[in-house]
Each structure stands twice: as structure tokens, then as C-alpha cells.
Amino acid sequence: MKTILLKFAGPLQSWGTSSHFETRHTDFYPSKSAVIGVIAASLGYRRNEDEKIRKLNELDFAVRVDQQGNLLRDWHNAKSDKRKDPYTTNRYYLEDAVFVVAISHQNHAFMKMIEDGLRSPYFQSFMGRRACPLPVDFIIQVTNDSALDSLKQLDWQASAWYMKRESSDNWISLEIYTDSYLTGKESYQLRQDKVLSFSQKERKFGFRYESRVRVEVLNPLWQEQSSTEHDIFNSIGD
């Protein structure tokens, strides 16, 4: 088993799986289809190379929410030759969010090809939209553990200011969203982010089963809260 850990962090990112027309929504964490898109672009796959792209669905997938971020709405007044009156478009982003994505596979050669592509991408990749570039520390590390185990063992990747804000807590509980077959849990939800085609003629996505688990990570900026009570007799001594 080989696992690659990827960090998605920046001022803005957007992960829409159900956007239509003038309103472009974002999910609250990266979708598997979006990450496959990043990998496919890095490997130089064209949109119409369906067979190559579908192969990437075989990757085990899990994402850890290290810093949830805030929902941001960006609106524009627009005009069109097909419309008489101006209209408003809405685009939604996540600001100041941090996610760690784990992708893994038993085939080491397959994973080495993906790693090489991510380190030297053929096409420019981004976090959902072209205005949201990947961070410099995008590739965190490569492990020999499973996707879930790799995320459970990884240190907290949140921003320093965010860790400091949570400094009253020694241990932080984080959510992990993963392919349900990796957990063995019977509880799951359907997610429509299995890539069937990225073709501009007709993009197609199927469903996959997704489960949620939690993991505890240590806060490196934890500070034990000192008592505010003052005992005057401690200063007197015996």
C-alpha cells in the first residue's frame, strides 16, 4: 500500500458538485472528483480520455477537515447578448480552510506515476477554480500505510493562528470523510462525485458511498489554563 497526503489550503477554494447556471455552490470539503481532476491535469490527461480518467476512481480516497473555514459569497452584476436586463451571478467559496486529502492504492508503480505527475504537473492545477492556486506545500508526504491510518497519524495541519485560537484544548477532534469500504461501517451517505467523464460535451458523474469518522489530534500550541484563584496562605509558608 502506498499513500500520498495532499494539503489543500489557501485564502479561497471552491469544491462544487451541484452548481448550475448563475449560481456556483461549493461543498464544505474537497470531492473525490475534484481531486481526480487535479491528478488527471497533472498527468496531462485530456478531458476526452475517459478510460484513463476512470482508472483514477480506483484510488482509495479520504479527506480530513483540519480547518473548516468560512463560507464566502461573491456576486457579480452581468450582462448578456441573450438577455435584455442585467442579472446577478453568485459564486461561493471557502475562505481560510485547510484540508488534508489521502489517496492510496496497492499498485506502487501506479502511485509513483501519480506522485511524479503531482510534483511536475503537465497542466496547471487549482483548488476548484482557476483563481485558487495550490499551496507551495501541496504534497505533505508519502507513506506505506492506508489512507485512513495515514490521516490518523498525521499532525494537525491547521494554521498557527487557528491552533492558537483553540489553545485551551489539548486534543482536537477532526472529521474524516472517506470511501465507506475503508471503514467497514454500515452507515454511509451517497456522494455524486465518481467520475465517468470530464468531456466538455457531457460531463458525467456516478455515485459512491461515503462514511464519516473522527480522529483526535494533538494541539501543539495547547496551553494549560492556570487557575485564577489566589491563595494568600501559600505565600506565607509553614
* Spans of all domains in the chain: 2-223
pLDDT of residue 79: 75
Give the chain's mean pLDDT.
Answer: 90
DSSP string, 67-93: E--EEEEEEEEE--TT-SS-EEEEEEE
Please compute the mean of the pLDDT values over residues 75-97 and round it to a whole number.
83
Q: Is residue 69 a contact partner of residue 2, using CB atoms and an 8 Å limit?
A: no
pLDDT band at 88 (very low <50, low <70, confident <90, very high): confident
Query: How does pLDDT run across 204-234, given as a tens digit for each residue?
Result: 999 999 999 999 999 999 976 544 555 555 5
Q: Is residue 99 a contact partner of residue 135, using CB atoms and an 8 Å limit?
A: no
Question: CA separation (Å) from 114 to 4, 36, 111, 142, 166?
Answer: 9, 10, 5, 11, 35
Query: How does pLDDT run across 136-163, given as a tens digit for each residue?
Result: 999 999 999 999 999 999 999 999 999 9
231 vs 234: CA distance, rounded Å: 6
C-alpha cell at 62: 479520504
> What is the CATH architecture assignment of 2-223?
2-Layer Sandwich (3.30)
126 vs 14: CA distance, rounded Å: 10
The partner residues of 5 in beta bridges, in order of sequence, read 102, 141
DSSP state of 46: -
C-alpha cell at 171: 486534543
Compare 197 and 19 and report the one with higher pLDDT: 197
Query: How does pLDDT run across 25-45, given as a tens digit for each residue?
Result: 899 999 999 999 999 999 999
C-alpha cell at 196: 465517468
- Rounded to two decimals, the pTM is 0.88
